Structure 1
Amino acid sequence: MNTTITSNGLPVLPQAQSGQSGGSTQETTAANAKPASATQPNDSVKLTDSARALTEAAQGGGQIDQKKVDQIRAAIANGSYKPDPTRIADRLVSLNSQIDGK
């Protein structure tokens, strides 16, 4: 029994020839790709202030009180850490106000 599969309007991708000796489609595609040095010399990237702040934070530019982090981590591990839901809610409302600009 033969079943014909159609592309249903989708683009038809090239198929590897069964007579090729071990060559893969990926190798053929990679060989035809343009090198990365073919980009325009005037390409540039501009980061927003938010992106710069996130980059700085990710690189450790922010001040982290490692002693406090270790204390909280130990309190969580031994079960003595008790978060204050009211304080958390207040800070979330404050953060939301800052984001909204109110």
Structure 2
Amino acid sequence: MTHKIDGAMSPALRQIEATGSTSVQSRSGADRGQPVGATAAADQMRLTGDATNLQALERELGAAPAGIDVAKVNAIRTSLADGSYKVDPQAIADRMLSLENALSK
């Protein structure tokens, strides 16, 4: 697809150049050069009791430590960094099987 660029101005640009105005009107006659004012908010949202309780729980959990053993996390982080962390594949497989058995009951 090719387009010829001939340097001709569009009719809207010719009108702006001729009048010296940057105000452009829409087809409806409204001036499109003026800023648009904000409209009043018509939408409203009301939370159910469950949603309010979930928000409160989220704030509570976000504010308090979630029972994380920081010392254990730091020990694992250190052993990962120095390469001494060992994975026990048999223990992982055993736990996966016990989880599968618990879920299938």
- The TM-score with structure 1 as length reference comes to 0.46
Larger radius of gyration: 2
Taking structure 2 as the reference length, the TM-score comes to 0.45
